[in-house]
A and B are shown apart, each in its own frame.
Chain A
């Protein structure tokens, strides 16, 4: 998503799936129903589709269109929860509401022991699904991300993959709810890949690296949370942020400080090389 500059769509979807999940939950009466991921995926696709519609019909930038759509859907979700809170087992409601919005309050207890196995199953399943999705469609996704026009001429439909990607995002979001909560899903959708993006230029390496950084953030975050007695998810987001900061400043190829340092050290010879590059018609 970073490559396609659609990162905020991930943020939008992670918020907008709320009403989908709530509706699915209300219809099915249980938190384990398969309807929940379906509701989430549906809400995610709806978000993508409505955003595009408003972007074109209302003639505004995609960001604004997304903003209108996901805030509305999220508001509807909150209203649904508040309205039907009385009909729902308070404990479950607290979990649904609490996890999705707060995460923090009981994560220490829930994320670790009681829900452990289930969350692991769900996230494990999501991981497998994502791996399969990316594995099967790697070339197509790569092409659609870098050169959608070429993809069209080759008979690949960027649109289809776009919506597949949106669905995958929605499903991952649902799976992640259990342990991390909607709002912090974005942190993990974006920050590790962004960090990896600052460290490599190759797509394959990028994917592996972001997964690795994600794990690192999770571990580091957990340690931080235990030490500071705060929310696990919050700690993980902070850990991811710290890693990002480090990469941003010190990355060997793209780091801000490394570049500044090179410029200072390289001095004249560096600038000369730049000039030479420009003179021969290449942009450095």
Chain B
């Protein structure tokens, strides 16, 4: 039976389904977009406070105008949200309390007032108040087409506003001082942004509810942040992820009309976030683990190459062949691992096997020379410039030899005045240019 419902949903035959679906996607997308700016300004939790603060506004609006028209309630929510923001700023600037305390105070007191008003309304026996508590958890299904129209239009306006003022928002979000310096009306931008955030929250409340509203602001932005440093891309991605979560909410409401949609939207968007955290190409956990593994493998291979060079050096016979045991005496590891590394080096053309042992190829030798050169330059640097004793510098050089760049190498050579020998009186390999 559920499958039938699902199919009906996806076929978009039902007009109500269409409304709720597109409305949700527009809304959640809009909050995702505008949330990016709150996120970047490090004011994510202010959104949570605004969402809680909206409740008394909604209740008061209802009480004053005796109406549940969407624009009436929205106006109440927006005004209360704005009031909350102003109060937070006031507390932060005029008392010794910090921003987090200010946020929490406004959040809890306003919300408490809202609950109080809500109960007043409930106890007054007015039957029509039942719809007000859907603000607490969000009920996409209960949105009538009229509601969706209003909310949808507002969401579109939000998108448009962000699009139009994008450049200004961008500069302000990253560096308000700079924005002020180049003559942007910082106060105006701040007010505009806050209005958009408050409006976004006000319209999103009915979908996702007060407690979870913050998620729709923060989590899409947090997820998008993992993929890019480029603001336009981040904003678009956040919008898309938000929209998808909105769709999930609409889907839930179609399948189970009495189930609150908010939690499902939050779970969806958090899932996107976790996936982003793990799999984003540069910043993702999986990517970082991969990079670390790759560099460990490279270092291990380079160590084998330098070992062969050192063995050659000791015997005075360049590019002679050595059995694996000789290498293992220098570099303890499992024979299997060594074999794997040697095979890899063979594929890269850096070593050759002559039946009895492994030898450096010409290219392998020049690679080894480069690394050993850097190792010994570094050792000399540590002993001469930092006055470290000669027996203490090897380990450090072991690690850094893989990371020194050409430029750094040249700098060291200049600093140490074209040295020939390292602290252990071994020759510093010279590199032929070209």
Residues of A within 8 A of B (CB): 2, 5-8, 10-11, 15, 54, 57-61, 63-68, 71-72, 74-76, 78-79, 82, 101-105, 183-184, 186-187, 189-191, 194, 197-198, 225, 228-231, 233-238, 240-241, 244, 248, 254, 256
Contacts and interface: CB of A to CB of B under 8 A. Distances in A.
B240 interface: no
Given A183-B115, A240-B109, 10 more contacts: A7-B104, A63-B45, A72-B267, A82-B259, A186-B104, A187-B111, A228-B116, A231-B118, A238-B116, A254-B95
7 contacts: A11-B108, A78-B260, A183-B211, A186-B104, A187-B111, A197-B101, A231-B118
A150 B113 CA distance: 42
A68 B219 contact: yes
A98 B219 CA distance: 27
Contacts of A229: 119-120, 123
A65 B101 CA distance: 17
Nearest to B270: A72
Given A186-B108, A229-B123, A74 B226 contact: no
Contact of A11 (B107, B122, B266): B107
A8 B133 contact: no
B113 A237 contact: yes
A207 to B, nearest CB: 16
Contacts of A254: 95-96
Nearest to A257: B94
B215 A68 contact: yes
A14 B414 CA distance: 62
Contacts of B98: 5
Interface in B52-78: 52
Contacts of A7: 100-101, 103-104
A58 B277 contact: yes
A101 B55 CA distance: 14
Contact of B115 (A2, A231, A248): A231
Contacts of A233: 112, 115
B42 A72 contact: no
Contacts of A235: 112, 116
Nearest to B44: A64
Nearest to A64: B44
Given A187-B108, A241-B113, A105 B119 contact: yes
A234 B263 contact: no
A58 B96 contact: no
B122 A68 contact: no
Given A71-B214, A74-B211, A104 B101 contact: no
A194 B215 CA distance: 26
Interface of B: 39, 42-45, 47-48, 52, 91, 94-98, 100-101, 103-105, 107-120, 122-123, 133, 136-137, 211-212, 214-215, 217-219, 221-222, 225-226, 259-260, 262-264, 266-267, 270, 273, 277, 283, 285
A8 B43 CA distance: 12
Contacts, number: 203
A79 B263 contact: yes
B238 to A, nearest CB: 13
Most chain A Cβ neighbours within 10 Å, of B43, B117, B136 = B117
B222 to A, nearest CB: 6
B115 A72 contact: no
B205 to A, nearest CB: 14
Contact of A60 (B95, B104, B222): B222
Complex A-B, nearest 10 residue pairs according to Cβ-Cβ distance, in ascending order: A237-B112, A234-B116, A241-B109, A187-B108, A71-B215, A75-B263, A234-B115, A75-B266, A64-B44, A231-B119
A61 B103 CA distance: 15
B291 to A, nearest CB: 15
B101 A248 contact: no
B116 A183 contact: no
Contact of A2 (B91, B97, B266): B97
A191 B101 CA distance: 8
Given A54-B277, A241-B105, A67 B112 contact: no
B109 A72 contact: no
B35 to A, nearest CB: 10
B137 A104 contact: no
Nearest to A190: B104
A244 B102 CA distance: 11
Nearest to B42: A61
Contacts of B47: 67
B225 A58 contact: yes
Given A11-B107, A71-B219, A234 B277 contact: no
Nearest to A251: B95
Contact of B112 (A8, A60, A78, A241): A241
Contacts of B217: 67
A5 B102 CA distance: 10
A57 B264 CA distance: 25
Nearest to A245: B109
Contacts of A184: 108, 111-112, 115
Contacts of A59: 225, 283
Contacts of A240: 108-109, 112
B105 A191 contact: yes
Contacts of B273: 68
B116 A78 contact: no
Most chain B Cβ neighbours within 10 Å, of A11, A64, A198, A240 = A64
B115 A67 contact: no
Contact of B116 (A186, A194, A237): A237
A190 B218 contact: no
A256 B94 contact: yes
Given A75-B267, A78-B263, A238-B113, A8 B103 contact: yes
